[in-house]
């Protein structure tokens, strides 16, 4: 089954609350108009996040939607930042805004997914985006823990997808930490080594 068809099927079958299925479909449609490279990326990140969460007996549905919407902030920014060219430092500073922007766009109605969007680049060394200090005070410790776990899964999935599919340079300095994906992940996710270990088991190394 083509990946888009599979993604749309899963969006419908999961029946998320509060219209998140419509939001997810709309994001795919919006991204398809001018952010073509973003669509394949978010679809693959959603599937990888879902499969890892399932393996760990965590909330696969939450991981799927967090993966699918993690880069929603990109469509708020100019499309040429994501057209596949090697961006300069000034453009990278603009790109980095997508994490907070995505969180802002989602947080009113989809707080969990919005927090994951804000955190997906904050889960590794020298990352950026939201911090736990930005969380609403009303969140329970159990919810905070779940947000952090799912965000870590999405973040690692995001990096693996970028490493295996992107032809341009990854700008966060990861290339200086190792020669291959595995060593880069170990250097990048020092606090989540055990989680990183789960990924080889699903044969996503390349």
Question: In the set 21, 43, 50, 71, which binds Fe ion (CB under 5 A)?
Answer: 71
Q: Which is nearer to Fe ion, 43 or 158 (CB)?
A: 158
> For residue 58, which phi and psi values (nearest 5 degrees)?
-105, -175
> What is the smallest separation between the CB atom of 102 and Fe ion, expressed in angstroms?
8
Q: Which is nearer to Fe ion, 71 or 172 (CB)?
A: 71
| Separation between Cα atoms, residue 136 and residue 104, nearest integer Å | 13
Q: Which is nearer to Fe ion, 12 or 35 (CB)?
A: 35
Residue 172 touching Fe ion (CB under 5 A):
no
Q: Which is nearer to Fe ion, 50 or 158 (CB)?
A: 158
Q: What is the largest CA-CA distance in the chain?
A: 44
Tokens found for residue 185: 């992940």
Residue ranges in 87-146 that form contacts with Fe ion under rule CB under 5 A: none
Question: In the set 158, 159, 163, 184, which binds Fe ion (CB under 5 A)?
Answer: 158
5: exposed, middle or buried (Cβ count in 10 Å: 0-12, 13-18, 19+): exposed
Site stretch for Fe ion (CB under 5 A), options 63-71, 80-88, 131-139, 194-202: 63-71
Nearest-10 Cα torsion for 120, 126, 129, 134: 110
Tokens found for residue 44: 């693959």
Binding site for Fe ion (CB under 5 A): 71, 158
């Amino acid at each position: 089954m083509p990946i888009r068809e599979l993604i749309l099927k899963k969006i419908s079958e999961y029946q998320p609350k509060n219209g998140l299925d419509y939001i997810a479909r709309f994001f795919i449609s919006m991204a398809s108009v001018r952010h073509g490279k973003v669509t394949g990326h978010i679809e693959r990140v959603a599937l990888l996040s879902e499969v890892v969460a399932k393996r760990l007996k965590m909330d696969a549905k939450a991981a799927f939607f967090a993966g699918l919407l993690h880069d929603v902030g990109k469509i708020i920014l100019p499309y040429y930042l994501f057209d596949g060219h090697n961006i300069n430092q000034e453009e990278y500073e603009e790109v980095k805004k997508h994490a907070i922007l995505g969180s802002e766009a989602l947080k009113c109605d989809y707080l969990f997914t919005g927090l994951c969007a804000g955190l997906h680049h904050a889960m590794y060394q020298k990352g950026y985006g939201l911090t736990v200090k930005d969380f609403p005070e009303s969140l329970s410790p159990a919810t905070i823990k779940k947000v952090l776990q799912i965000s870590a899964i999405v973040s690692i999935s995001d990096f693996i997808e970028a490493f295996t599919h992107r032809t341009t340079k990854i700008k966060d300095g990861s290339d200086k930490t190792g020669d291959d994906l595995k060593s880069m992940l170990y250097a990048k996710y020092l606090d989540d080594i055990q989680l990183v270990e789960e990924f080889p088991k699903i044969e996503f190394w390349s």
